[in-house]
Amino acid sequence: MSEECIRLEFNVDRGNFASAGSASEAVKTQLKLLGINSKDVRRVAVAMYEGEINMVIHADGGTAVVEIYHDRVEIVLADNGPGIADIDLAMKEGYSTAPDEIRSLGFGAGMGLPNMKKNTDEMRVESVVGTGTTIYMTVKLG
């Protein structure tokens, strides 16, 4: 028996700070419409927003696929960016390779990946240097 879900797909444009966060915003709206509790909506939105921003800042943009099931939301963020050489290091609070001009825009505090971890029930980072990064996240609902 296949499980029903609502599937949403987004392109996240590189270097586009104006539209950065639009995918997580759309998912937030959809989850609210479905009557998902605000705590879970917030967890999904925060985790997705940080991942989106990372694809804009650190990669060449990418794609976000979100599947909403009755008991969970599954998010896959994939990019063809530079990859992450040391994932354990990248996951540390405060670690950032963002350049000064990005920091001056208010990004690059090194809290994105730790916040993604904190706001999800499962998170797996797959990355190959020179090829790209794929992040799988699951937020349980209720």
Ligand X SMILES: Nc1ncnc2c1ncn2[C@@H]1O[C@H](COP(=O)(O)OP(=O)(O)O)[C@@H](O)[C@H]1O
Confirm if 5 and 65 have CB atoms less than 8 A apart: no
Question: Among residues 22, 30, 63, 97, which is the contact residue for ligand X, using CB under 6 A?
Answer: 97
Nearest residue (beta carbon) to Mg ion? 112
Cα 79 to Cα 84: distance, rounded to the nearest angstrom: 11
Stretch that binds Mg ion, among 47-55, 59-67, 118-126, 131-139 (CB under 5 A): 47-55
Confirm if 132 and 78 have CB atoms less than 8 A apart: yes
Question: Among residues 21, 81, 112, 132, which is the contact residue for Mg ion, using CB under 5 A?
Answer: 112
Q: State the minimum distance, in angstroms, from the CB of residue 120 to ligand X.
A: 14
Within residues 53-72, the interface with ligand X by CB under 6 A covers 54-55, 57-59
Strands 72-79 and 132-140: antiparallel
Cα 33 to Cα 127: distance, rounded to the nearest angstrom: 34
Query: 124 pairs with which residues across the strands?
Result: 136
Cα 41 to Cα 28: distance, rounded to the nearest angstrom: 6
Q: State the minimum distance, in angstroms, from the CB of residue 141 to ligand X.
A: 24
Instruction: List residues near ligand X by CB under 6 A.
Output: 50, 54-55, 57-59, 79, 81-82, 84, 90, 95-98, 107-114, 133
Instruction: List residues near Mg ion by CB under 5 A.
Output: 54, 112
